[in-house]
Amino acid sequence: MVYIVGAGPGAEDLITLRGLRLLRSADLVIYAGSLVNPEILKETKEGCRILNSARMTLEQVIHEMEDAEKKGLVTVRLHTGDPCIYGAIREQMDWMRQRNIPYEICPGVSSFCGAAASLEMEYTLPEVSQSVVITRMAGRTLVPERESIRSFAAHRATMVIFLSAGMLKELTSELLAGGYGPETPAAIVYKATWPEEKIIRCDLKDLERLAKEEGITKTALIVVGDAAAQTGYLRSRLYAPEFETEFRKASSGGDGDEKEQKTQQIGE
């Protein structure tokens, strides 16, 4: 059996309970060495074989999994964050299926969630943005033209941009060309939740300069959009006293002032 496990964004205790249980039971662990925190590997049992996939081809990874499967061993394929985001797991699953290797996926905390926690940020602020665009600049992996940064920027929603910290000049000009103003609030989170995490909050126009000053060229997420300022939002309807939900009756009281407050913008 092969378990594809999300290791979380970095901090060793941000793996799920299920992921940890699987890791502890594994006979073979193949981990994404460039981004998985090696501290997590201390959880493996004695005698567990540990391979770093950063030095392997897909063929080698599959070969190791197949070999382990023949011996009846448990393999954990440990990916950074959640495997569904830029995890290159589809090809692994297809190869495994062809070889009759059973597999299962255990989700993890993606780095975009880790970064939000570090930034103390809610990406979806009422009246500011209700959408999060997860994307990247084209690199060795191409991005379809219809998904250009420029076209997403036109929505002026919250954007979380992966795999692009080394291309901030191009990224910034695409975001500006798409419709974000130069003063749009932005942030860079380097190694979110790792001990060496770095956070920069700035205006979009200063992204490149500040990242350069901090020497950040990889393992970072860029967050852009008005939500990054965390101001100017409307109070959530879900927790408003007069709003009834399946779980809570509306409270009747309240004077004019309170009503006023409910519809007032918060944070400005």
* Least distance to ligand SAH, CB of residue 6, Å: 7
- Distance (Å, rounded) from C-alpha 142 to C-alpha 33? 23
Look up residue 200 and give its DSSP letter: E
Which listed residue (26, 78, 87, 225) binds ligand SAH by CB under 6 A? 87
**Contact (Cβ atoms closer than 8 angstroms) between residue 165 and residue 217:** yes
Residue where the block lists tokens 């460039």: 34
- Distance (Å, rounded) from C-alpha 149 to C-alpha 224? 11
Look up residue 248 and give its DSSP letter: B
Tell me the residue number closest to ligand SAH, measured at CB: 81
- Distance (Å, rounded) from C-alpha 218 to C-alpha 165? 5
* Least distance to ligand SAH, CB of residue 208, Å: 16
- Distance (Å, rounded) from C-alpha 168 to C-alpha 208? 5
Cβ nearer to ligand SAH, comparing 28 with 137: 137
Instruction: Say whether residue 163 binds ligand SAH (CB under 6 A).
Output: yes
At 218, list the tokens: 């990889």
How many residues touch ligand SAH (CB under 6 A)?
Answer: 25
Instruction: Say whether residue 133 binds ligand SAH (CB under 6 A).
Output: no
- Distance (Å, rounded) from C-alpha 29 to C-alpha 25? 10
* Least distance to ligand SAH, CB of residue 34, Å: 8
Which listed residue (81, 121, 153, 224) binds ligand SAH by CB under 6 A? 81
C-alpha neighbours within 13 Å on the C-beta side of residue 85: 23
User: What's the sign of the alpha-carbon dihedral 4, 23, 115, 39?
Assistant: negative
- Distance (Å, rounded) from C-alpha 21 to C-alpha 125? 35
Instruction: Say whether residue 221 binds ligand SAH (CB under 6 A).
Output: yes
* Least distance to ligand SAH, CB of residue 32, Å: 8
At 225, list the tokens: 């959009």
What's the longest Cα–Cα distance across the chain? 72
* Least distance to ligand SAH, CB of residue 8, Å: 9
Stretch that binds ligand SAH, among 41-49, 191-199, 227-235, 247-255 (CB under 6 A): 191-199
x/- binding map, residues 32-51, to ligand SAH, per CB under 6 A? ---x----------------
Which listed residue (114, 149, 152, 159) binds ligand SAH by CB under 6 A? 114
Radius of gyration of the chain (CA): 22
* Least distance to ligand SAH, CB of residue 168, Å: 12
Cβ nearer to ligand SAH, comparing 22 with 165: 165
* Least distance to ligand SAH, CB of residue 118, Å: 8
Positions that interact with ligand SAH (CB under 6 A): 9-10, 35, 79-82, 85-87, 110-111, 114-115, 162-163, 189, 191-194, 218-221
